[in-house]
Amino acid sequence: MREQVVRFLFNHTCKRDYGKRSDGELSHGPLGLLEYYHDFFGTTDNIEVMEFLRILSNPTYDDQTICPCGAGQKIRRCHHRLLKKARKHQTCRTFEKELREIMNYVAFSVEPFA
Ligand SMILES: [Zn+2]
């Protein structure tokens, strides 16, 4: 249940921020990062992006675990290739830094509960 609420809030935040952007440019800072990873992983789900970044920031992630994309496959048989491709471009440390930036951004752009 808690996870569903969080998921809803993330999606809501995403929609709200996208709505604000009318010039069609890629945003700067953490939002720009999020947009970039939405394209890269082919998703609009912030939680999914954060899960992928969490995997990428772990140098010894287990590719036998279920892929966060929701296809129900193990990573090895699903997004493995894309993750490997991402790994070529930057270090686990950088992914971790980006994950933290995105998490901060998402956490602080959610409106407080009434
Ligand atoms: Zn997948």
Whether this model's pTM surpasses 0.95:
no
Encode the chain (114 residues) as per-residue pLDDT tens digits: 556 555 655 555 545 555 444 445 667 889 999 999 999 999 999 999 999 999 999 999 999 999 999 999 999 999 999 999 999 999 999 999 999 999 999 888 766 665
What's the rounded Cα separation, in Å, for the pair 96 and 102?
A: 10
Distance (angstroms) between ligand 1 centre and the Cα of 51 equals 11
Exposed/middle/buried for residue 74 (C-beta within 10 Å: 0-12, 13-18, 19+):
middle
Q: What is the pLDDT of residue 2?
A: 58
Domain coordinates of the chain in residue numbers? 28-109
What's the rounded Cα separation, in Å, for the pair 19 and 48?
A: 20
Q: What is the pLDDT of residue 19?
A: 46
Q: What is the pLDDT of residue 21?
A: 45
Answer for the pair 97, 54: CB distance below 8 angstroms, yes or no: no
Question: What six digits make up the tokens of 69?
Answer: 């994309």
Distance (angstroms) between ligand 1 centre and the Cα of 29 equals 26
Distance (angstroms) between ligand 1 centre and the Cα of 97 equals 22
Distance (angstroms) between ligand 1 centre and the Cα of 109 equals 27
CB neighbours of 45 closer than 8 A, spacing ≥ 6? 7, 10, 11
